[in-house]
Chains A and B, each alone.
Chain A
Amino acid sequence: MFMYSVKHQRASSVAHVCELLAAHPDARPLAGGQSLIAGMKLRLSAPSLLVDLGGLRELTTIQIDAQHVTLGAMVRHAQVAQSEAIRKVIPALASLAKGIGDPMVRNMGTVGGSVANNDPAADYPAAVVALDAVVTTTTREIAADDFFVGMFETALLPGELITAVKFRIPKRAAYLKFKNPASRFAMVGVFVADFGSAVRVAVVGASAGVFRVAEMERALGRRFHAASLDGIEVSSAELLSDLHSQAVYRAHLIAVLAKRAVQSLTESGSKP
């Protein structure tokens, strides 16, 4: 398929992006474009203008301090996957990035694009929620738990642009993904993050959007061990059934992946 006619304009600054988005209500910011362009080619969306963020170097920085890893919105997945510094502080984040799509997609796709798109089967929302991140936009800061609203829906207002995502560095964390055999998106992805004081478990791929599993979080908060998850079942009532998996199987996979994620963090000799 070939996309509908569209205008392309490269933005020179974040302010310029805001200007263009304000002037063209049906404009879309274009980050890496790995989902947006693909969707436009299938004629699933038809913005009149694409505001290309590709030239905005100020959005490509990775900042790490004692508590946080902050990724500029235009940081590519490959950058995260290959970053020694990130691998040192949140290896799960680097490994999540390394599992997105394929090498070519990772060379183009961006954190900001993925988070703003909020594909229910995308990986990043799991990290954002489990790592209790803050999404910084051109106008405000949004807590992870408030950011993802529904399928492909976020708290972003028209004209608002993500500029960075600030992840909290956990004591330990792991992300495991059961790949859809065709698309390589997550059929189920489970991100477990242990902050010492609390544990966060975020699931993607299984329902209309990322969600947390409170019962698992409480159990792991009491004792961070795979056995703590014994008997905890995720209800399949709200989960997706589609060509690739029925809800019941997704629910089962969540339990299995969560256990394996925890186990990978508690097994002797394994890295934090």
Chain B
Amino acid sequence: MATISIRVNGTQVTREMEDRTLLVHFIREGAGLTGTHVGCDTAQCGACTVHLDGRAVKSCNQLAAQANGGEVRTIEGVANDDGSLHAIQVAFRQHHGLQCGYCTPGMVMSALDLLRLHPTPTEEEIAGHLDGNLCRCTGYYNIVKSIQTAARMMAGA
């Protein structure tokens, strides 16, 4: 067992967990934040995407212990402090960028990582960036549109 302490969405979470605990299980079971999902076991689907120390990572493909002492942001930490939706969440809703919602948290976290690096991405850049995020419902069109709209909204904000 290891003592793992990670700052999750601004709150320090410290738990005793087995060394083999994956970061995603620390988040879901340790921190009780179930918005981060597990969709595969080979790091292909991206449903588990969170930000670790500012960069998007697949939380199912690393140990919680690797992130010990670090800072994690999950989908629960995206909305504004007053509870209103972040521009990217508004845009996903506006463009019907989600259906079942299971891949959505990973999509949003991955998209935020893109917008951090490229505030005004083209459709092609967006599609390319989503290489690590599988969606089985939407056909991706509305996701790409959502991210473009979010980029415009964020630039205007």
Note whether A and B contact each other (Cβ less than 8 A). yes
Chain A residues near B (Cβ < 8 Å): 1-8, 10, 30, 33-34, 37-38, 41-42, 50, 52, 54, 78, 82, 101-105, 107-108, 182-184
Are A5 and B57 in contact (CB-based, < 8 A)? no
Question: Residues of B contacting A33 with CB < 8 Å?
Answer: 61-63, 66
Specify which chain A residues have a CB less than 8 angstroms from the CB of B41 in the assembled complex: 1, 38, 41-42
Instruction: Pick out which of these stretches binds chain A: B42-50, B81-89, B94-102.
Output: B42-50
Chain B residue nearest to A52 in the complex (CB)? B66
Q: Which of B19, B56, B58 contacts A8 (CB 8 A)?
A: B19
Does residue B39 face the partner (Cβ distance < 8 Å to A)? Answer: no
CA gap between A194 and B24 in the complex, in Å:
44
- The answer on a CB contact under 8 Å between A103 and B20 is no
B57 x A104 contact (CB < 8 A): yes
- Total A-B contacts with CB atoms under 8 angstroms apart: 87
A sample of 19 inter-chain contacts (CB < 8 A) reads: A4-B20, A5-B18, A8-B2, A8-B20, A34-B43, A37-B61, A38-B42, A38-B43, A50-B19, A102-B131, A103-B114, A104-B43, A104-B57, A104-B113, A105-B58, A108-B58, A108-B62, A183-B44, A184-B131
Determine if A5 and B19 form an interchain contact, defined as CB atoms under 8 angstroms apart.
Answer: yes
Which residues of chain A have C-beta atoms less than 8 A from B22's C-beta? 37, 41
A90 to B65, CA, bound (A): 35
- Checking B56, B61, B113, B129 against A34 with a beta-carbon cut-off of 8 angstroms, the contacting residue is B61
Complex formed: what's the CA distance from A54 to B63 in Å?
Answer: 12
Task: Give the chain B neighbours of A102 by CB distance below 8 A.
Answer: 46, 131-133
B19 and A37 contacting across the interface, CB-CB below 8 Å: no
| Residues of chain B in range 7-48 having any CB-CB distance to chain A below 8 Å | 18-20, 22, 41-44, 46
Which one of B18, B56, B65 contacts A104 once the chains associate, using CB atoms below 8 Å? B56
A108-B129 Cα distance, complex, nearest whole Å? 15
B56 pairs with A107, CB closer than 8 A: yes
- Residue in chain B with minimal CB distance to A1: B41
